[in-house]
Structure 1
Amino acid sequence: MLKKLTKAAGEVLEFPADIAGKGPKITVLGRHEIIVEYYREVIEFSEQKIELDTTDGKLSIRGSGFVLTAVLPTEIHIKGIFHHLSLEEREE
């Protein structure tokens, strides 16, 4: 019920998608840090590859030396050297 109310309020007030709870917020800080908010779960983690499930689809991050510096219920902080970032859309 709260999720539906938040979504409806976000649409009426024209909030950005991440605030209205519609999708992930991905913050890239140079080539060495990424913060992903509103992810669902960690699908895969290694020093070269991270895959996260999000409401919009699968987020894939490739690079080297990955370290999770914070794992919270609604956000994850990743440090390392990033080479590639992609979001594979969820099939409806």
Structure 2
Amino acid sequence: MKKMRQQMKNWMTKQMQLPADVMMDLPRITMIGQLHIYIENHRGVLRFSNQELRLLLKHGQLLIKGDNFVIKTILPEELLLEGRIDQVLYLDEPPRT
């Protein structure tokens, strides 16, 4: 049933020419060089340090690695991170404790 719902969302997105991030609950990520990253549609911060940010997504996690991280703005579903960004990775695994 879940697979059928996902296929229906994919079909509707293509047929109605809607943005995929809106219809499918995907994150929207905007990077400006290696200095800023703006993430919309996340589900919360799992881990934050000077060198790592891990966000919960509807499907998996987003891991950002770098140095001198500072969270400039944080809202329930939006986040602006500053620092030197070296890697942005999608993880399909559940959060580690």
2:15 is aligned with 1:15: no
User: Could you report, residue by residue, the CA deviation over 1:3-42 in whole angstroms, capped at 9, with x for unpaired residues?
Assistant: xxxx69x635231221225210011111000000000010
Q: Counterpart in 2 of 1:63? A: 66
Structure 1 or 2: larger helix share?
2
Larger CA Rg, structure 1 vs 2? 2
2:63 is aligned with 1:47: no
Percent of aligned pairs sharing the same letter: 31
Taking the aligned partners of 1:54 and 1:45, their CA distance within structure 2 comes to 15
Q: Which moved more, 1:19-28 or 1:77-86?
A: 19-28
Which 5+ residue runs of structure 2 have no aligned equivalent? 1-8
Q: How many residues align?
A: 85
Structure 1 or 2: larger strand share?
1
Q: Normalising to structure 1: TM-score of the pair?
A: 0.80
**Aligned amino acid, residue 32 of structure 1:** L
Q: Normalising to structure 2: TM-score of the pair?
A: 0.77
